[in-house]
Structure 1
Amino acid sequence: AQLDADLLVVVHADQLDHWQARALVAALAEGAHLALVGDPRALPPLGPGWPWADLALQAADVALAARPGASTAALVGAAECIARGDPLSHLVESDDLWLCPADDPEEIVDTVGEIVCERLPRQRGVTAEAVAVLCLARHGPAGAAALNAALRARRDAGGGSAAAVRAAGRSFRPGERAILAESVPHLALARGTLVRVVGPARPPGVVHITLPDRRQVALDEADAAALDYAAALEVRQAQGGPFRAVVVPMLSEDYVTLHRRALYSAVSSAREVCVLVGQERALAHALASAREPLRYRRLAARLGPPPPRPA
């Protein structure tokens, strides 16, 4: 179906993948205008392609401080410092951003758990459910998968899993954050959407979730199989947030994923506080690395040279 609009403005357009961008352009009426607004410093989208990077856009770069629900001044300054590739000595610690040293994976996992479940709730009044642990790697001893298991085990240790919501072999606590690992097309739910599980499930086998726009949707057993744990996430799964508090584990062994775009995306997702947990050398490597994520794409070549910018 075509969109009835003379001008369509798309925010977070840097997160459009190939198929989404194709569907968007195809839905525009002839003669309509399209304005894309996004962040050129963020990671590419979850899906294939990277249209934003290929389009040579003549679009405004929206400053972090001007966005709704913007981060604190300290976090904005840190994100800009990371984007410029400033050295570690320029990254100023504050009440809203600090590095918590931890040398080995086991210590990193334990420290992250303590910060999420004890320190931030006590010192900043941020509940564990409101904290996002954003990992630069999925696998490994301090990656998203390992931290997901460790955080859930720590939170459930107090017996809070009695009223668990069971979905397709997984067990969620009421109010727990989850992620759609797969799209659910007939419900217009896209892969990567962060949701909250509502429970207990009624009728049995049905799982109710709350979407980011606060709508509630019921998932049957087959649809609920798309849900996955989201106590810890890869940075690319949670781009833009926003989250009240963000904790970023950093391990030098994850050097392939330690780069400026990933760190920038993690820090800029925090609105009140961001804690970097791990090795100082890992942070220094991420700040120094301008490595670009590998994407195979042909859009730029097919579009040809960009038009000259107006004076």
Structure 2
Amino acid sequence: MTESHSANPPGAAETAAAGTPGAAAPGASETPGAAPAGAASAAGRAALAELFDGTGVPVALVHRTLARLGTGAAGLLREDPWRLLRVPGVTPRQADHFARRALGDQARPDDRRRGRALVAHLLTEAARHGHTVTPPAEVLSALEGLGVPDPRRAVEDALDAAEAIALTEEADFDEAALEDGDLDEIPEPEETLGLARWALAEEAAAEGLRRLAATAAPLLDDAAVKAARAGLPEDRSLAVTAAFGTGVSILRGTADDLSRTALGIAGIAAAHGLRAAVVTPTDRAAADLAAQAPEAPAFTIAGLHTLLEPREGAGGPEAAPGTVVFGRGEQRPLEPQLLVLTDGAGLDVELCAVLVEACADGTHLVLGGEPQSLPPAGPGRPLDDLEASETVAVIELEPDAPAAPPAVLTAAVRGGELVTVDAPGKEVVIVPADGATEAVHRTVQLVTDSIPRALGIPVEDVQVVAPAAGGEAGTAALNAALKARLNPGPGAFGGFDPGDRVLVAAPLPYAAVGEAGTVTGADPAGLHVEFAGGTAVVPPALTSRLRPGWAVTVALGRGTRRPAVVAVLPPATAGDDGALTRPLVATAFGLARRHLSVVQASGPALAAAVRERPAPARRTRLAALVVQ
């Protein structure tokens, strides 16, 4: 079985890759958020609480520390207090303070345990920003800034302890220089550092993609492909040819065009007796897509999480409670001969590795993606890297129907322009707001009154999105205001009440990251949540993987489009000039099917972001690995 990856939604501290990187296998990781249970847990909690009480660490950190370090956390931290840096949200300064309280005069800046921990911490922070590798010079410079006397020795210690791994890539060079004997023109191999979790996942993803490309045979003969292409526009014709003739291909287009093309390709496959599946990021998105499909389609429409058959407690005796493993993998591959993923841009390297490892030899994989899409929440950018490798067919889909006003605005944003669109039916509404407080007020007004009353779209079909969780107009503040109006209550059950809308922020056995649900009740067994795939009971230890879901970050909400979306763009604050980017704005606007309200409190920062600010670059290896 292949263990699931931890999701990495912005603002969710427990999503970072910490722990013991060398223990992770490709596509496998610890899934944080669940403290161990039972008698051992009680004893471990008591010992850790006693240690933290004696060293001045807030008691609120006990749960996160147990979830990350296990029931023996107290002993581990007494042995090496800098292991506290493995706990999400802990900073080097806090870890140093804890070490001084725990070790007294023995806590020194040159302690080799400190150096190892800081190397792993720096690489983890890089992963939170999407990087799978980091240049050694950057790590050494950061270590100097943190007061490590011998940064090179710290890196060597981290490598020896498998806290990090060193990677070497041959640089591109002019082969003619080698033939001429001009060795000065041959660049030195590029060396980088990384966490094993992401490096191994990236290598596994590349290996799987190469395998699918190499083992694919045409699924249909030439005559059948020619018949299937008859009457199709050139771009759709090329998409059909690539899907049935090559092992891996990419489709670029709008969300609607990708969905229609995916259904069309799967329909052709099913008509010829082939097993096909159209795969979406969430079960809710799959249900929405099924409503657009022909009645009783002869192919599968499913969320990726569900298709991979998630399970809990199948990871062996050492697996943490709540660990999600997938029943589908190399030993038990997926059954469809053709898979079309509608949002391949949302795959990080770990989930990409899980998917391709679950595809049998000869499977044809089609990855869809919107142009200028927000990068995945986790490290890497597999779809963009695969396209950059120039090893697969990439087909650009032209719009096959007149675009609705929200789609017109989204397309303009993807092209770098913020335009006024014609929206006679109030399909797009710009709502100016003077500051964060007014932005929250306007949002509540739109969700609870204006949109349902004027457009007839019920509250349950309205989704609020914002760039981040924090801030006076972030999702935390927005959810607090929306709950006060829509479902007031004390949050008696793990912070939630029956009737609350929730969103999955880290994978659960019964729901993917980004899946929305409604709390229907609670009892000692846990929180009862109605998801698109049915009702699930989320035990108390796992409720930390849920977030209030009336307002969600764009990164978490990207997997499911909604009839109406309220995009809240808060005022820029010092230090967050890069919060708004063109891909983030385009992705937020593109989530709206029928209606888009833009609560505009960001002033000229919005136009500047659309015009000038692409997504930050990510350091990755997949493009190079695929061509090896």
What is residue 606 of structure 2 aligned with on the other side?
283
What is residue 528 of structure 2 aligned with on the other side?
208
For 2:439, what is the secondary structure of its paired residue?
Answer: helix
What is residue 28 of structure 1 aligned with on the other side?
359
Please say if residues 250 and 276 of structure 1, whose CA atoms lie closer than 8 Å, have aligned partners that are also in contact: yes
What is residue 241 of structure 1 aligned with on the other side?
560
Which residue of 436, 450, 455 maps to 1:105?
Answer: 436
Identity %: 31
Q: Report deviation, 1:64.
A: 6.9
Separation in 1, partners of 2:565, 2:400: 18
1:171 matched to 2:502: no
Please say if residues 334 and 358 of structure 2, whose CA atoms lie closer than 8 Å, have aligned partners that are also in contact: yes
Please say if residues 249 and 278 of structure 1, whose CA atoms lie closer than 8 Å, have aligned partners that are also in contact: yes
Please say if residues 65 and 73 of structure 1, whose CA atoms lie closer than 8 Å, have aligned partners that are also in contact: no
Cα 1:264/1:123, change in 2 over 3 Å: same
Q: Report deviation, 1:166.
A: 4.3
For 1:241, what is the secondary structure of its paired residue?
Answer: coil
Separation in 1, partners of 2:556, 2:400: 23
Q: Which has the higher helix share?
A: 2
Which residue of 400, 409, 421 maps to 1:92?
Answer: 421
For 1:2, what is the secondary structure of its paired residue?
Answer: coil
Letter in 2 for 1:289: E
Letter in 2 for 1:207: L
1:41 matched to 2:372: yes
Separation in 2, partners of 1:152, 1:72: 34
For 1:200, what is the secondary structure of its paired residue?
Answer: strand
What is residue 60 of structure 1 aligned with on the other side?
395
Separation in 1, partners of 2:561, 2:457: 14
Separation in 2, partners of 1:219, 1:252: 36
Letter in 1 for 2:372: R
Which residue of 542, 558, 569 maps to 1:250?
Answer: 569
Please say if residues 144 and 233 of structure 1, whose CA atoms lie closer than 8 Å, have aligned partners that are also in contact: yes
Please say if residues 132 and 245 of structure 1, whose CA atoms lie closer than 8 Å, have aligned partners that are also in contact: yes
Which residue of 139, 142, 147 maps to 2:473?
Answer: 142
Segments of structure 1 that go 5 or more residues without pairing to the other structure are 306-311
1:130 matched to 2:461: yes
Cα 1:284/1:35, change in 2 over 3 Å: same
Q: Report deviation, 1:152.
A: 1.6
Cα 1:165/1:257, change in 2 over 3 Å: closer
What is residue 511 of structure 2 aligned with on the other side?
189
Separation in 2, partners of 1:290, 1:273: 25
What is residue 382 of structure 2 aligned with on the other side?
51
1:303 matched to 2:606: no
Separation in 2, partners of 1:124, 1:216: 30
Cα 1:40/1:7, change in 2 over 3 Å: same
Which residue of 541, 566, 579 maps to 1:222?
Answer: 541
Letter in 2 for 1:258: L
Q: Report deviation, 1:27.
A: 1.8
Please say if residues 465 and 557 of structure 2, whose CA atoms lie closer than 8 Å, have aligned partners that are also in contact: yes
Q: Report deviation, 1:25.
A: 1.3
Please say if residues 245 and 273 of structure 1, whose CA atoms lie closer than 8 Å, have aligned partners that are also in contact: yes
Q: Which has the higher strand share?
A: 1
Instruction: String of CA shifts for 1:23-57, please: whole Å, max 9, x gaps.
Output: 11112222332221222322112222110110015
Q: Report deviation, 1:5.
A: 3.6
Instruction: String of CA shifts for 1:65-112, please: whole Å, max 9, x gaps.
Output: 77xxxx9611111111111112x3x33252111211112111111111
What is residue 83 of structure 1 aligned with on the other side?
414
Which residue of 245, 270, 293 maps to 2:592?
Answer: 270
Separation in 2, partners of 1:114, 1:123: 12
Which residue of 404, 415, 424 maps to 1:73?
Answer: 404
Cα 1:241/1:189, change in 2 over 3 Å: closer
Instruction: String of CA shifts for 1:102-129, please: whole Å, max 9, x gaps.
Output: 1211111111111111211211122333
1:12 matched to 2:343: yes
Q: Report deviation, 1:264.
A: 0.8
Please say if residues 258 and 289 of structure 1, whose CA atoms lie closer than 8 Å, have aligned partners that are also in contact: no
Please say if residues 462 and 562 of structure 2, whose CA atoms lie closer than 8 Å, have aligned partners that are also in contact: yes
Separation in 2, partners of 1:52, 1:289: 23
Cα 1:98/1:286, change in 2 over 3 Å: farther
For 2:431, what is the secondary structure of its paired residue?
Answer: strand
Segments of structure 2 that go 5 or more residues without pairing to the other structure are 1-331
- Using the size of structure 2 for normalisation, the TM-score is 0.43
Separation in 2, partners of 1:303, 1:46: 22
What is residue 309 of structure 1 aligned with on the other side?
none
Larger Rg: 2
For 1:48, what is the secondary structure of its paired residue?
Answer: coil
For 1:262, what is the secondary structure of its paired residue?
Answer: helix
Q: Report deviation, 1:272.
A: 1.3
Letter in 1 for 2:481: A
Separation in 1, partners of 2:577, 2:422: 23
Please say if residues 250 and 282 of structure 1, whose CA atoms lie closer than 8 Å, have aligned partners that are also in contact: no
Letter in 2 for 1:92: V
Please say if residues 72 and 271 of structure 1, whose CA atoms lie closer than 8 Å, have aligned partners that are also in contact: no
Cα 1:106/1:165, change in 2 over 3 Å: closer
Cα 1:41/1:238, change in 2 over 3 Å: same
Separation in 1, partners of 2:586, 2:495: 32
Separation in 1, partners of 2:534, 2:495: 23
Letter in 2 for 1:302: L
What is the root-mean-square deviation in Å for CA atoms of aligned residues? Answer: 2.5
For 1:45, what is the secondary structure of its paired residue?
Answer: coil
Separation in 2, partners of 1:91, 1:194: 31
Cα 1:220/1:252, change in 2 over 3 Å: closer
